[in-house]
Amino acid sequence: MFMISGISEKYRKLLDILIRAQKGPFTIKTASEILKIPKDKCRILLAYLGRKGWLSRVKQGLYITVPLGTINPQEYKEHPWIVANKVFAPCYIGGWSAAGHWELTDQIFKSIIIITIQKFKNTRIKIQGTDYIIKKVNQKFFSKTKSVWIDNSKISVSDPIQTIVDILDDPSIGGGIRNVVDITKVYFNSQYRNDDEIIKYIEQKKNRTIYKRLGYIIESLNIDALKLKEKCQKNISSGFSRLDPLVENSGVYDSKWNLRINVSINR
């Protein structure tokens, strides 16, 4: 078991300044500016405080302070959403992670869906034992988010309608089309339902396949949304799209919705 060990008064003062000035994960550059010391010296300082157990390294160049009384400081972890907000910013929590937050699904996913304007070499990144799935989008899609607070950190999460539109646009971030159907069904029975707003969100997305999938789901589940279904019908694009783009291109063709039904759904 690794315990916090003693440090000199000089280092205690620097650590105290850092704790008071910074909430959540911080970079070497941020710490350097707060402590007013050169980055090279700050890098050495943070590594030293990490070895002593006063800081925990989130990833290379990113640290968090460790609360007093922590039994095993080196294993102390920051809340995954706070980490994401720092590492992938500007970003928002989306897909199945947002659906869970809004109680649109009771499915438990180990990975967290991150929607960001940044381009990352890898679309799956593990930090502090948490898997993050990264999806890059245009910044204009960031207007439909809500803010939640976790330990004084402001986190952006796609609002319920944007969450539905996002997973209809890319069913993989909703756990596959079957899970997307289940989430969509709960949404239509929830307080968040707004048929006019969902059309506005889809129009902004500019992917007409969303109309196909939504219209097909409404019809298949006999959801009471006639006007919305008709709006979807009017706006579908030509050509056939796969109901679930991750599944092989097989199954019957639905000419009404221009979909290839390559996955059966529970009705």
3-class state of residue 1 by DSSP: coil
Instruction: Identify which of 42, 51, 35, 48 has the alpha carbon closest to the alpha carbon of residue 3.
Output: 51
**CA-only gyration radius of the chain, Å:** 23
For residue 173, the domain's CATH number is 3.30.460
Specify the range with the lowest mean pLDDT, choosing from 84-88, 107-111, 142-146, 241-245: 142-146
Are the C-beta atoms of 140 and 120 separated by less than 8 Å? no
Q: What is the pLDDT of residue 2?
A: 46
67 & 149 share domain: no
Domain-located, residue 266: no
- Per DSSP, which regions of the chain are E strands? 26-27, 55-59, 62-65, 91-93, 112-116, 124-127, 130-136, 145-150, 153-158, 241-242, 252-254, 259-261
Domain-located, residue 244: yes
Domain-located, residue 44: yes
Q: What is the pLDDT of residue 78?
A: 85
Q: What is the pLDDT of residue 20?
A: 87
Provide the residue range defining the domain that includes 34.
9-75
50, 75, 100 - which closes a domain: 75
Residue 133's beta-bridge partner residues? Answer: 113, 124
pLDDT tens digits along 173-226: 999 999 999 999 999 999 999 999 999 999 999 899 999 999 999 999 999 999
Domain-located, residue 102: yes
Domain-located, residue 48: yes
Domain-located, residue 3: no
202 & 116 share domain: yes
Q: In this structure, how many other beta carbons lie within 10 angstroms of the beta carbon of residue 4? A: 17
Give the CA distances from residue 91 to residues 74, 143, 187, 194, in Å, rounded to whole numbers and listed in that order: 27, 11, 23, 25
Into how many domains does the chain fold? Answer: 2
Chain centre distance of CA 54: 29
For residue 61, the domain's CATH number is 1.10.10.10
- Assign 73 a pLDDT band (cuts: 50, 70, 90): low
22 & 148 share domain: no
- Assign 138 a pLDDT band (cuts: 50, 70, 90): confident
The whole model's pTM is what?
0.82
48, 75, 102 - which closes a domain: 75
Average pLDDT value for residue range 22-51: 91
Name the percent of the chain lying above pLDDT 70. Answer: 94
Q: In this structure, how many other beta carbons lie within 10 angstroms of the beta carbon of residue 21? A: 13
94 & 175 share domain: yes
40 & 171 share domain: no
75, 93, 112 - which closes a domain: 75
- Assign 1 a pLDDT band (cuts: 50, 70, 90): very low
3-class state of residue 12 by DSSP: helix
pLDDT tens digits along 143-157: 789 999 998 889 999
Q: What is the pLDDT of residue 105?
A: 96
60 & 150 share domain: no
Q: What is the pLDDT of residue 5?
A: 62
